[in-house]
Structure 1
């Protein structure tokens, strides 16, 4: 059964949609509701949510930003956007972030349930598991592998020595038919661990698993831009993702966050459906075909860090201060850098935990790293989930104010960073096991 979160700053709409879903007969477990983006994010962090249904126009955080933040926390959460505005730009941004539908208010009940049902059906669609894949016969499907010649040319473009050869692309040389348009590019590399699972994988098994992985990657990256997928000489999966000038202007500075979310989705889906561990490395975004070799080296460097972090899976080149090291850093240097990032994060949270609208994205930006990497480091070094640490500080301060002042519930909620007293009470009871009024007594 699937859990759904309905978000709208109009309580009657939340209540109506929740009631409609609960009585629909669809395969739905729990229906949660939230009146703001920040309240919704707490629910996404604390509960198992499969589908997010959100209004697009809400207070401080609109539905697009909520969708973005939710996918940082859980990249696999699906989204349906509802809006009173037939705005092409909103719809385009929503679809680019992976929204499954964009519905206009006033909602037609039948259309709404059809949309939800369609999304749930696709989420429940059975994907062949690894055992079925490996026992498939040649007649079951035909593998359309990347063309060897195209593989070779694309790999040459990512290699160090190919940096000055890309002029051929403009003159229609060997590279002219590759489909490279750009002018903005990023490189993503995926390394499958085919040593896990069954030790008896044959060469055919490995080919099938690489092929299945490549198709999963293609489906996920098609949402990010125009992606060219191919195998490296050592059988990694490579993707060159490209954007036009217009697409780059529309997506803005969130492209890197979207790429990282796509990388996490790749890892999640390959692990879930193929039972394989996978390491993903992501370059920065640069303009111009001649920089493809630079992007290839960046992805290679990001992949190197997996040796230091075997329990981490998605590595973004920009998370690491490469300019500080002449060569791969020692374990001691790496530990010093990680501790410095975490200590800076801890100080920032302790000074700003009561700020309304505080997000992990904002904390990560202050430390010049991605939200996913910061969350990983914080948990690894402190033993605390980063957002749980924010909630801990808020709740301890709330208890102090309850027991030592005459402030009312809404005043305490305001002081510790919550917009809604009701939402504050829910978090408080979940944390302490009693409501604020019961603790006061």
Structure 2
């Protein structure tokens, strides 16, 4: 069933349209009426609606101004304009703002019923089609196999020994750039059978192609910060060729395997989280020379085959890795660090830093990691926390007091210096928590002060408050709800109602005067909101 909001400064018209829609057979079970734009916004901020029908010329806020706010706060909400103005300029402006139709008064009942019914039906079907239409638009599976992917596959699967110039010529012909001089290749196998089990459905051929193309797109987005080429390969899997510069190799200090493992696990997490896909990633050596790429591709296939023979459950497998048990532990540790990030986001008191630190070090000890890997795990965790510190604190004073993780590089190599490592983690985690809480508290304090100063403003918008604290409207809404456990409009209504109570009990002001003072255009609307909020009318409350 649908709900409709009618906005018109003529109560007779509001009542007539309301009664007609409720008696119609187009699935409308609730109709509210507002006499101006300010009342309409209050309704929209308190309850969801499926359609708005509005006049143009109204006192206080006209229909054009109302639509501007509606489409900024509720961009998917359809609007129909009904007006006595036949001026094309009004119609043009309304349609340009996104109105679905512009009707001239008087409107025939059957015509209005037809338009409203059709619009509500389209809105009802919209969400059902949303996923499929988005996927089909973004991942057009007809483009899954292109000339480029065919030629790249022929090059990768050719058993011949390629010369450097021959390999460069292949990429030049395809207008692709892989500057190198070092290269690493991945093979990404997607297990669509497991995906079917997760979704409890049987995929058609086109569904499998869509999922593969979605996976390819996600792979490309996940690697957007790297010089990499990803494409669809033979046998229903994906291939990525990494181009690694001399500078990157120097920065990695000969530990390119660990870098590739971290990137691959990020990709695997994204595939699991966003597409609910399981699979495996085979990683080759990192070698110099573009002519080595076909050979590196064969290594990825061998890595994945070895994984199947060993019945290994790791999502990422390296051709040169002979320490499978240690790799499993590293995978467990990587998962724990992902959990650490979530834990820190949920921490609300600085003293929790000691608890988080003790639990983290205890879990590492429990894993029984080899000593060389143990030191690497500690540094990895330190950089994880320090990265959060940098993101969350910016120039916060406490953030500058925490040194870079490199300062404990020597301490992590020996158990005798574990107290130093523990102190570093505790101070870094505490700084993350303190800085994050202080920033949130300061931001919400400024927002609430702004609301207390401006709650009587009839045209107050979400964007106004978000702009005041220099946040995007979406993030501000999330942060406000998280901090106050109320959405912005519930909080604003509460402020207005609290002030109304004071004025009703402590003054002789008339109802219309109180409504004006707390931000309501019409006293009738103020009375409806007050009764909805407290369960009694303003007059009864005053008695």
Distance of aligned partners of 1:199 and 1:358 in 2 relative to their CA distance in 1, 3 Å threshold:
same
What is the aligned partner in structure 1 of residue 524 from structure 2? 422
What is the aligned partner in structure 1 of residue 124 from structure 2? 124
CA distance in 2, matches of 1:131, 1:338: 34
What is the aligned partner in structure 2 of residue 179 from structure 1? none
Match of 1:363 among 443, 462, 465: 465
What is the aligned partner in structure 2 of residue 342 from structure 1? 444
Scaled by the length of structure 1, the TM-score of the pair is 0.57
1:122, distance to aligned residue in structure 2 (A): 1.3
1:384, distance to aligned residue in structure 2 (A): 2.2
CA distance in 2, matches of 1:150, 1:57: 58
Indicate conservation of the 8 Å contact 1:50/1:76, yes or no. no
CA distance in 1, matches of 2:37, 2:104: 19
Scaled by the length of structure 2, the TM-score of the pair is 0.47
Distance of aligned partners of 1:196 and 1:147 in 2 relative to their CA distance in 1, 3 Å threshold:
closer
SS of the residue corresponding to residue 103 of structure 2 reads: strand
Number of residues paired by the alignment? 304
1:350, distance to aligned residue in structure 2 (A): 0.9
When Rg is computed on C-alpha atoms for both structures, the one with the higher figure is 2
CA distance in 2, matches of 1:380, 1:322: 19
Distance of aligned partners of 1:108 and 1:370 in 2 relative to their CA distance in 1, 3 Å threshold:
farther
Residue 372, structure 1, aligned to residue 474, structure 2: yes
1:28, distance to aligned residue in structure 2 (A): 0.8
More helix per residue = 2
Residue 399, structure 1, aligned to residue 385, structure 2: no
What is the aligned partner in structure 2 of residue 208 from structure 1? 210
1:24, distance to aligned residue in structure 2 (A): 2.3
Structure 2 alignment gaps of length 5 or more: 134-139, 150-174, 177-191, 225-272, 276-340, 347-390, 401-430
1:377, distance to aligned residue in structure 2 (A): 1.0
Distance of aligned partners of 1:128 and 1:375 in 2 relative to their CA distance in 1, 3 Å threshold:
closer
CA distance in 2, matches of 1:402, 1:64: 34
Match of 1:234 among 207, 211, 220: 220
What is the aligned partner in structure 2 of residue 138 from structure 1? none
| 1:219-275 deviation per Cα after TM superposition (whole angstroms, max 9, x unaligned) | xxxxxxxxxxx9464367x9xxxxxxxxxxxxxxxxxxxxxxxxxxxxxxxxxxxxx
CA distance in 2, matches of 1:14, 1:348: 35
- Cα RMSD of the aligned pairs, angstroms, is 4.5
| 1:68-110 deviation per Cα after TM superposition (whole angstroms, max 9, x unaligned) | 4334544442221223334555545544554322222332333
What is the aligned partner in structure 2 of residue 52 from structure 1? 52
CA distance in 2, matches of 1:387, 1:363: 11
1:125, distance to aligned residue in structure 2 (A): 3.1
Q: Within 5 Å, which residues of 2 pair with 1:239-254?
A: none
CA distance in 1, matches of 2:94, 2:212: 31
Indicate conservation of the 8 Å contact 1:196/1:277, yes or no. no
What is the aligned partner in structure 1 of residue 81 from structure 2? 81
What is the aligned partner in structure 1 of residue 181 from structure 2? none
Distance of aligned partners of 1:231 and 1:131 in 2 relative to their CA distance in 1, 3 Å threshold:
closer
What is the aligned partner in structure 2 of residue 16 from structure 1? 16
CA distance in 2, matches of 1:149, 1:340: 56
SS of the residue corresponding to residue 29 of structure 1 reads: strand
Indicate conservation of the 8 Å contact 1:44/1:73, yes or no. no
Distance of aligned partners of 1:130 and 1:429 in 2 relative to their CA distance in 1, 3 Å threshold:
closer
Indicate conservation of the 8 Å contact 1:5/1:34, yes or no. yes
| 1:314-361 deviation per Cα after TM superposition (whole angstroms, max 9, x unaligned) | xxxxxx99996999x956544433332211110001111122322222
CA distance in 1, matches of 2:63, 2:195: 40
| 1:288-320 deviation per Cα after TM superposition (whole angstroms, max 9, x unaligned) | xxxxxxxxxxxxxxxxxx98989xxxxxxxxx9
CA distance in 2, matches of 1:105, 1:127: 32
CA distance in 1, matches of 2:58, 2:212: 43
CA distance in 2, matches of 1:346, 1:33: 30
Of 430-439 and 348-357, deviating more is 348-357
Indicate conservation of the 8 Å contact 2:141/2:206, yes or no. no
What is the aligned partner in structure 2 of residue 199 from structure 1? 198
Distance of aligned partners of 1:46 and 1:150 in 2 relative to their CA distance in 1, 3 Å threshold:
farther
Q: Within 5 Å, which residues of 2 pair with 1:10-409?
A: 10-86=10-86, 90-125=90-125, 143-145=141-143, 199=198, 205=207, 207-208=209-210, 231=217, 233-234=219-220, 332-409=434-511
What is the aligned partner in structure 1 of residue 3 from structure 2? 3
Distance of aligned partners of 1:357 and 1:205 in 2 relative to their CA distance in 1, 3 Å threshold:
same
SS of the residue corresponding to residue 125 of structure 1 reads: helix
1:196, distance to aligned residue in structure 2 (A): 9.9
CA distance in 2, matches of 1:234, 1:7: 47
Of 114-123 and 86-95, deviating more is 86-95
SS of the residue corresponding to residue 60 of structure 2 reads: coil
| 1:377-424 deviation per Cα after TM superposition (whole angstroms, max 9, x unaligned) | 111112222111111111111111111221111111112111110001
Indicate conservation of the 8 Å contact 1:146/1:231, yes or no. no
CA distance in 2, matches of 1:12, 1:388: 30
Structure with more relative contact order (C-alpha pairs < 8 Å, separation 6 or more): 1
Indicate conservation of the 8 Å contact 1:378/1:385, yes or no. yes
Distance of aligned partners of 1:392 and 1:125 in 2 relative to their CA distance in 1, 3 Å threshold:
closer
Distance of aligned partners of 1:51 and 1:129 in 2 relative to their CA distance in 1, 3 Å threshold:
closer
